[in-house]
Structure 1
Amino acid sequence: MLIGGLLFLAGALLNFTAVNIEMLIIGRILLGVAVGFTSLSAPLYLAEIAPARWRGAFTSTFHFFLNVGLFMADLVDYGANTIPRWGWRLSLGIGIVPAGFIVVGAALIPDTPNSLVLRGKVDEARASLRRIRGLDTDINAELQDIIQAAEEDKMHESGALRRLGRREYRPHLVMAVAMTVFFELTGVIVVSIFTPLLFYTIGFTSQKAILGSIITDVVSLASIVVAGLVVDRFGRRSLFFLGGVVLILSLVAMAWIFGAQLGTNGEVAMPRGYAMAVVALVCVYTAGFGVSWGPLSWVITSEIFPLEVRSSALGLSGAVSGLLTFAQSQSFMEMLCRFKYITFGYYAWWVVVMTVFVAVFLPETKGVPIESMGAVWAQHRYWRRFVKPAPATRANGP
């Protein structure tokens, strides 16, 4: 996280002071690398320090604060849009502030006990766990579980990426790729990147389109808070099912409105009532995404993998996510122009597929200690044919 924060700081500074296109490109590259570092390390850190019964809420805070950043960025863009000549510098350079917080925060927080034990620093791991859990908590059982998981990891062959190719880790490989691919295919790119353009298409001015994007950001934050409050009570799968239904209905409704009111040529202006209905549907979609695939994709990918493949699986997920985000950001406009309203139906179909996938293949991890994730796979009705039974461990934390 510290390296990611420093890269964020360097990239934002370059963009803020840019005097040519080369500086802007280099700054954007640094920011992209920083996203890779932090999007891998932050949810993993949260998952490893969280008590089992609160891990879903802890890890979902990553997506919450990610959306806080998007909300603040939209506010900055809304104001910078009114400033001639140097407003773009404000929009790009304001990232210096959160980058500074990341650097300072990463320097102050303790390393995770899991990471310290893997590096042979058991005494430091004990001190870190004591600091995280509190002085009045018995940490011995949890520390022993962490040490046991680390010892099992050392018994495996070196090369975590190679392990993912072995039969017993095939479920983890499938899940690492599938959850990331499905996250991108929910149509999130519509609301995370192209919301202002979508609102502009239905007749809003550019300023009102940005304001509409701010409204969806507020809805997103509220829904993520709800997800964080209930995920450890009702479980991950239940929220995936709920979110899947909401996403399918809202995407199909948007496809119908765009098809009926704009057709395939887009030459007819959308009536105001239907335009407001689109805004409402985008908010409904955002709420459905915010209680399901938004936070839970981070929760699942950061918690469900056993220690011996956790880092490689998360690294693979991050790489796939980056490639898909790039591909979709480059192709979405072409897709929308060519297929028009069918684009929304395309994403709705993928949500159907991923909801079925969750129902059949995703194990429930509510309340399971992160050191016991191997047992989750071994007990699953399908994946148990690949995974060897794992030894039982004690629950970690209160």
Structure 2
Amino acid sequence: MAVGFAITSKGSHYNGRMTLFVILSCMIAAMGGVLFGYDIGISGGVTSMEPFLRKFFPKVYIRVKEDTRISNYCKFDSQLLTSFTSSLYIAGLVASFFASSVTRAFGRKPSILVGGAAFLAGSALGGAAVNVYMLILGRLLLGIGVGFTNQSIPLYLSEMALPQNRGAFNIGFQVCVGIGVLSANLINYGTEKLRGGWGWRISLAMAAIPASILTLGALFLPETPNSLIQRNNDHQKAKAMLQRVRGTIDVQTELDDLIKASEISKTMEENPFKKILQARYRPQLVMAIAIPFFQQVTGINVISFYAPLLFRTMGFGESASLISAVVTGLVGTSSTFISMLIVDKLGRRLLFMVGGVQMFISQMMIGSIMAAQLGDHGGLSKGYAYIVLFLICVYVSGFAWSWGPLGWLVPSEIFQLEIRSVAQSITVAVGFLFTFIIAQTFLSMLCHFKSGIFFFFGGWVAVMTGFVYFLLPETKNLPIELMDRVWGEHWFWKRIVSEEKGENKKNRAQGCDETGLVCLRS
């Protein structure tokens, strides 16, 4: 099932080096990851703060503080409370489809700019909220920002980077997500201690800082050479940008590949959603759906969204639950950084599988301890609480160097130019859909499944690790415009794409090239 190295050698024909111009551009773009992570991490913290609950969710506050009859697992079970968290993702789901059209027609840069502006508006509204409707409307605006930036930024990073550095650059986005989560947890821990009960306003409003950096920085971002060719067919301008990006004047080989991919894509732009259903794109379509689905059913958002609530379920106090979330955020960020350093050396498949095994074992152990030691009332003993916290850190680190960053990296690099924007939108939309479902249902699932929630997600981790082993080819170091070759050499996918190969033979028999472009031109 290993992909031959012959196809990866093509990447060595591309000249260039890592330039300061590319590094700075990608750092600004990756600020969208900080915002995404901040919005993930901030919600769980503020929903565990008693002044926030008392103002917006008084029924939950009464259950937490006064009703001793309610099970540990059910104290925070409220559909309105989960709507505060999940509303961001349903808005992101809808926005991602509009983002696809903007990205394809106007470029990656305008999508990033729209996303940054939506982030600014959402953070301002959330910080100033006086009722639950303003609160959720602010989250909806944040969701629009996430929908645009998550659709465009991974594409931007993959297209700007050299093939041999693409993994590290793209995982930089996930590192920024981890930094955002960690920052949110630290801010929540600090603002919870403020007198007057208004610390949650600072937590929500401070998203405006990275939002401002992204929005202002996007005004100065260069457009990718891929997008310049696709939208304007301006080969000279694209060549000049490619020379600046790569730090060399000898970029003709890479430029030729970009032009060829663009010419193919222009013959298929009438209905990209229809095109992606063709047999030749079946592997990419499956990955566009399966990878974001599996990324969500790892159960990571149980930790990302609700870590403080989960720790309070186990008997931690308000401050202790927030500092525990800081610890898990720190572990996640450092592990993602490790992934960035090794992904282009060890490859995608190995990290996927090692992380999967690590997550599975830790989830089984957490579920077993909670089943044996945590009843409906009271809490875990201090010793078991620390063991569970340690195992959660093991789980988070497994996700952070596997499905966390690779769930964004692999989809962003496997799509041909003609389907890239629409396929990325499908990836983002599927991710948002299942993030919304899990965010909206988790507290109810926790109430009904109790400790079994960890066995539920652990079972999915086992399934997805097998999926990677059997169906995902290795893609490290392969130029993004030549990525379609991996499917034709994979033991399973080559059977499906063979229909397209038969069509190519027919074209050659008629005196056409494999794409049919020569016939079309004549």
1:5/1:103 contact within 8 Å kept: yes
How far residue 366 of structure 1 moved from its aligned partner, in angstroms, is: 0.6
Alignment map for 1:1-398 (pairs within 5 Å): 1-83=112-194, 84-119=196-231, 120-134=233-247, 136=248, 138-156=250-268, 158-262=270-374, 265-387=375-497, 388=500
Q: Deviations over 1:131-154 (max 9, x none)?
A: 2111x3521111111111111111
Instruction: Write the letter of the residue equivalent to 2:254.
Output: E
Cα displacement (A) at 1:177: 0.5
| Percent of pairs with identical residues | 44
Q: AA paired with 2:243?
A: R
- CA contact 1:261–1:268 (8 Å) conserved in 2: no
Q: Determine if contact 2:331/2:397 at 8 Å carries over to the other structure.
A: yes
**Does the CA-based 8 Å contact 1:169-1:386 persist in structure 2?**
no
Q: C-alpha distance in 1, partners of 2:372/2:200?
A: 37
Larger displacement relative to structure 2 (206-215 or 383-392): 383-392
Per-residue CA deviation, residues 160-200 of structure 1 (Å, 9 max, x unaligned), is: 11112222222111110000100001011121111111211
Query: How far 1:157 sits from its partner (Å)?
Result: 5.1
User: 5+ residue gaps in structure 1?
Assistant: 393-398
CA distance in 2, matches of 1:157, 1:202: 53
Residue type matched to 2:191 in 1?
A
1:250–1:285 contact (8 Å) kept in structure 2:
yes
Q: Separation in 2 of the partners of 1:24 and 1:203?
A: 28
Q: Deviations over 1:9-34 (max 9, x none)?
A: 11112222334444333222111111
Aligned to 2:393, the other structure's residue is in SS state helix
Residue 386 of structure 1 and its aligned partner are, at CA, apart by 2.2
CA distance in 2, matches of 1:305, 1:266: 48
**2: CA distance between counterparts of 1:19 and 1:346?**
38
Scaled by the length of structure 2, the TM-score of the pair is: 0.72
Q: 1:21 to 1:276 in 2, by over 3 A?
A: closer
The 1:85/1:272 distance shift into structure 2, 3 A limit, reads closer
- TM-score, reference length from structure 1: 0.94
| 2:370 maps to amino acid | F
SS at match of 1:194: helix
Aligned to 1:396: none
* SS, match of residue 428 in structure 2: helix
Compared with structure 1, are the counterparts of its residues 20 and 121 closer, same or farther at alpha carbon in structure 2 (3 Å cutoff)?
Answer: farther
Contact persistence 2:269–2:418 (CA under 8 A) = no
Tell me the alpha carbon deviations over residues 277-308 of structure 1, each in whole angstroms, 9 at most, x when there is no partner. 00000000011001100001100111111111
Deviations 1:215-239 (A, max 9, x none): 1111111111111111100100000
Question: Which amino acid is the alignment partner of residue 47 of structure 1?
Answer: S
* Secondary structure of residue in 1 paired with 2:484: helix
Question: What is the distance in 2 between the residues matched to 1:329 and 1:384?
Answer: 37
Distance in 2, matches of 1:281 and 1:137, equals 51
What does the per-residue CA deviation read over 1:328-365, in whole Å, with 9 as the maximum and x for residues that have no partner? Answer: 11111111111111110111110110011001111110
- Identify the range of structure 1 (374-383 vs 242-251) with the bigger mean alpha-carbon deviation: 374-383
2-side partners of 1:20 and 1:212: how far apart?
A: 29
Alignment RMSD, CA only?
Answer: 1.6
Q: Which amino acid aligns with 2:324?
A: G
Asked whether the 8 Å contact 2:362–2:391 carries over to 1, the reply is yes
**1:63 Cα shift?**
0.5
Task: Name the amino acid aligned to 2:146.
Answer: V
Instruction: Choose 76-85 or 287-296, whichever is displaced more.
Output: 76-85
Deviation at 1:127, TM superposition (A): 2.1
Between the aligned partners of 1:54 and 1:154, the Cα distance in structure 2 is: 28
Contact 2:315 2:378 in 1 (8 A): no
Counterpart residue identity of residue 18, structure 1: A
| Farther-moved stretch of structure 1 (292-301 vs 86-95) | 86-95
Matched residue SS, 1:380 = coil
Paired residues in the alignment total 389
Taking the aligned partners of 1:242 and 1:108, their CA distance within structure 2 comes to: 39
